Amino acid sequence: MRKRIVAILAYAGAGLTLVIAVSVPFYLMGAVSNSVAAAGLHVDAVYNGGSVARTITQDGYSIAVHEPVRPRLLQRFEPFVQVDFLPVGAPHGLVSELVDLDGDGQPDVKVTFAVPTDPREKLYGDVLALNGNYLSLNHVSNGSFSRMVARAGERIVVRVPLKRAAGH
């Protein structure tokens, strides 16, 4: 009888331990989330293109120009400026826009790309640098962090590489 009670208590303890082990992450999730949010952690600019410097409104869509992104210690990529065309469904056919990247009122690049009707189709485009601070790109897609024309959710992302000596 005593062995039977010990076995029942052992199984009950094991079951209770499993219930606690499974429920603790759910119980602590809010506290962990709040701690991470309070720590001020954010996505690196290499991945999200940095903060938006200005937005240009066009016919049916807008163009968001980001701040220049430069590599920090131990990061290996070319510096770039990201330009987002939003929403992705608004620009149709061939898009060709003069874009002021540095905010001086003068166009710095001419961005050209064709928007395929099939959203799964790979996007290709060109960037013509209009001054010496940026690099031109021909028939580029999404092969590099610093040189790209690609769909990203509800936007078309164009990353224009900066010349190393560009002083923005």
With cut-offs at 50, 70 and 90, classify the pLDDT of residue 50.
confident
Query: Does residue 127 surpass a pLDDT of 90?
Result: yes
pLDDT at 165: 52
> What token pair was written down for 130?
């209009």
Q: Which of 135, 163, 159, 134 is nearest to 147 (CA)?
A: 159
Is this structure's pTM higher than 0.75? no
Rg (CA), the chain: 25
Average confidence score pLDDT of the chain: 85
Q: Is residue 84 within 8 Å of residue 96, measured between CB atoms? A: no
Q: Is residue 88 within 8 Å of residue 151, measured between CB atoms? A: yes
Range 20-25, long-range pairs (CB < 8 A, 24+ positions): none
> Cα 52 from chain centroid?
12
* HEC assignment per residue over 29-50: HHHHHHHHHHCCCCCCHHHHCC
With cut-offs at 50, 70 and 90, classify the pLDDT of residue 66.
very high
Mean pLDDT of 85-93: 72
> What token pair was written down for 28?
């602590």
Beta-bridge partners for 83: 65, 158
Give the number of other Cβ atoms within 10 Å of residue 10's Cβ.
Answer: 10
Alpha-carbon distances of 153 from 46, 48, 61, 86, 90, rounded to whole Å: 17, 12, 15, 10, 13
Mean pLDDT of 7-14: 86
With cut-offs at 50, 70 and 90, classify the pLDDT of residue 166.
very low
> What token pair was written down for 92?
């149709």
Mean pLDDT of 39-59: 81
pLDDT at 80: 93
Mean pLDDT of 56-63: 85
